[in-house]
A = this chain, B = another copy of it.
Amino acid sequence: MARYKLTIEYDGRPYHGWQRQDHGPSVQQALEEAVLRFCQSETLVQCAGRTDAGVHATGQVAHFDAPRDYRCDRVRDGLNFHLRPHPVVVLAAEAVADDFHARFSAIGRSYLFRILNRRAPAGLDAGRVWWVPVALDADAMQQGADYLLGHHDFTTFRASECQAKSPMKTLDALSVTRVGEEIHVATSARSFLHHQVRNMVGTLKLVGEGKWRPEDMKRALDARDRSAGGPTCPPDGLYLTAVHYR
């Protein structure tokens, strides 16, 4: 048996999310079917961050066990061959030790959220950005974001269906940058609560459009109450960009 770590890019639009579902296609199913065709072996492909429906990845990480050794470039190219025509590709494959686990060995996750901030809707990037036509103040959003950095109870930004045992998380980075017609929100943490990134971005948008002051982010955080936060923003602009290991 040989364990392989995969770095994966995908367009989340056609899928009901990472996780295998009875009622629709998933990224996991696409990968498990490609593994089955590549090494004639039914196996679980386990990922670091179970992205929701419509969420994309440029640096998802997963692992699986193959019944025998393969050259890593063969794994990458073979899986990509069998993944066609799915918009899911293996960027890299590495042989790893048996105790490597994509999810449990991860010490950090990074996400990017792209907001298209212009009057005209998304044409080329439909489904890949969140279109916000009202002008957003990125500096005010950054000031608001700064209140969330560090170790906090993030109940205000947690989905009701979140299964994490504790709402305590440590947010390592939350930066807001204007890039041409877009606003990019980049964030990193050891791990996130369910919908945490989308709830933080949906709330920061209220600051960006001037409905909230930056310091209202602190008030919302301190309330430890989902109803004190802003709405969950759509998945379209969210990308899992990297998973970090020791």
**Closest Cβ neighbor of A181 among chain B residues:** B91
Contact: A10 with B123, CB < 8 Å? yes
Which one of B76, B87, B123, B128 contacts A9 once the chains associate, using CB atoms below 8 Å?
A: B123
Cα A119 to Cα B10 in complex, Å, equals 15
Which one of B8, B87, B89, B120 contacts A89 once the chains associate, using CB atoms below 8 Å?
A: B120
A58 at the interface (CB under 8 A from B): yes
Total chain A interface residues with beta-carbon distance under 8 A: 26
* Copies per complex of this chain: 2
A11 at the interface (CB under 8 A from B): yes
Residues of B within 8 A of A121 (CB): 80, 84, 89
Query: Chain A 106-123 against B: per-residue CB contact (8 Å), 1 yes, 0 no?
Result: 000000000000111111
Cα A128 to Cα B76 in complex, Å, equals 22
A73 at the interface (CB under 8 A from B): yes
Contact: B80 with A126, CB < 8 Å? no
A164 at the interface (CB under 8 A from B): no
Query: Chain A 77-96 against B: per-residue CB contact (8 Å), 1 yes, 0 no?
Result: 10010001001111110000
A194 at the interface (CB under 8 A from B): no
Shortest Cβ distance from A28 into chain B, in angstroms? 15
Q: From known contacts A87-B126, A126-B87, infer whether A76 and B10 are also in contact, taking CB-CB under 8 Å.
A: no
Contact: A58 with B124, CB < 8 Å? yes
- Given A90-B120, A91-B120, A124-B128, 9 new contacts (CB under 8 A): A8-B123, A9-B120, A9-B124, A10-B123, A11-B126, A76-B119, A76-B120, A87-B122, A89-B123
The interface of chain A, by Cβ under 8 A from chain B, is 8-11, 56, 58, 73, 76-77, 80, 84, 87-92, 118-124, 126, 128
Could you list 5 A-B pairs, sorted by A, with CB under 8 Å? A9-B124, A10-B124, A77-B119, A87-B122, A124-B128
